[in-house]
Amino acid sequence: MSTPLTLKIEGMHCDGCVRRVTAALAKVEGVEVKAVQVGRAEVSFDAAKAAPEAIAAAVTKIGFAAALES
């Protein structure tokens, strides 16, 4: 079963940032990228393969500040 997740992302300014975040999220096992735009990403994930914190960490690892949106 797939769980939706929205991340608020700080530090994104352009389409290049969108591409970098999209690529980083796509590399996380169990994550399906739905939409990425400046400041926000929407994904769905398999909870058996990925945790929300690990998904946010993938974005943080490439230099952006990511937080789970409630």
Q: Kindly report the CATH class assigned to 2-68.
A: alpha beta
Predicted confidence at residue 65, as pLDDT, reads 97
Contact 45, 53 (CB under 8 A): no
- Candidates 27, 34, 28, 68; CA nearest to 46 is 28
Predicted confidence at residue 38, as pLDDT, reads 97
Which strands sit side by side in the sheet containing 2-10, from one edge to the other?
31-37, 40-46, 2-10, 65-68
For the chain, the domains span: 2-68
Residue-wise pLDDT tens for the chain (70 aa)?
799 999 999 999 999 999 999 999 999 999 999 999 999 999 999 999 999 999 999 999 999 999 998 6
CB-CB neighbours of 65 under 10 Å: 12
Could you tell me the pTM of the whole model? 0.94
